[in-house]
Amino acid sequence: MKIVIVNGPNLNLLGEREPEIYGHDSLQDVERFIAQNDEARGLELHFFQSNHEGAIIDYLHAHRKSAAGVVINPGGLTHYSVALRDAISGCQVPTVEVHLSDVHAREEFRKVSMVTDVCLAQISGKGKHGYIEALKMLKAHVDAPVSS
Ligand code: DQA
């Protein structure tokens, strides 16, 4: 079962970027944590990060026929990208939205997500554990699909 794990703009700076909000782990640390977690056993994980909206959309398109699920932290694109939302809904691959921080406890604009209603769920405020929860959700969904 192939799952793609996509991180959007500025998440390449994890560990140095506002560590009081996003923690001290680098993106590489987070990806290693995910890959080594029990929930990842038996999964074929593909990691991707880009600061470019179009590159993320191209990546989702390229994997739409082969991936069983997508975990995406769209970073700032979350709050305004109609194009990313359209890519997620157009690709028709079960997708879970993840945020390291609790976007509902921060600035007003972060409460708005363009992608939540085309995803199975939004997981917010659980740090790197949110990605593991997303993997669990995708596995459960593949076993017993629910409409999104
Ligand atoms: C984020 C939250 C977004 O509002 C922000 O723009 C990010 C990271 C998170 O993981 O908490 O870049 O998606």
Give residue-wise pLDDT tens across range 56-113. 999 999 999 999 999 999 999 999 999 999 999 999 999 999 999 999 999 999 999 9
Q: Is 51 in the pocket of ligand 1 (CB under 6 A)?
A: no
Q: State if residue 76 touches ligand 1 by the CB under 6 angstroms criterion.
A: yes
In the structure, what pLDDT confidence band is assigned to residue 23 with cuts at 50, 70 and 90?
Answer: very high
Rounded (10°) angle between helices 53-63 and 82-91: 0
Contact (CB, 8 A) for 72 and 114: no
Contacts of 58 (CB under 8 A, 6+ apart): none
Distance (angstroms) between ligand 1 centre and the Cα of 96 equals 14
Which residue's CA lies nearest to atom 8 of ligand 1? 75
The pLDDT score that the predictor gives to residue 144 is 85
The answer to whether 71 touches 122, Cβ cutoff 8 Å, is: no
Residues 96-111: tens digit of each pLDDT: 999 999 999 999 999 9
Two tokens, residue 123: 């997981």
Q: Give mean pLDDT, residues 6-23.
A: 97
Tell me the average pLDDT of the chain.
Answer: 97
| Secondary element (H or E) of residue 61 | helix 53-63
Residue-range domains of the chain with CATH: 2-143 (3.40.50.9100)
Which residues are the active-site residues? 22, 99
CA distances from 43 to 111, 125, 135 (A): 32, 24, 9
Q: Is the Cβ–Cβ distance between 25 and 14 less than 8 Å?
A: yes
99 Cα: distance to centroid of ligand 1 (angstroms): 6
Q: Which of 22, 2, 20 is nearest to 11 (CA)?
A: 22
The residue whose CB lies within 8 Å of the most ligand 1 atoms, and thus the one to mutate among 50, 56, 72, 73, is: 73
Query: Does residue 148 carry a pLDDT above 60?
Result: no
Cα 22 to Cα 39, 45, 146, distances in angstroms: 22, 23, 31
For the chain, the helix, strand and coil percentages under 3-state DSSP, each to the nearest 5: 50, 20, 35
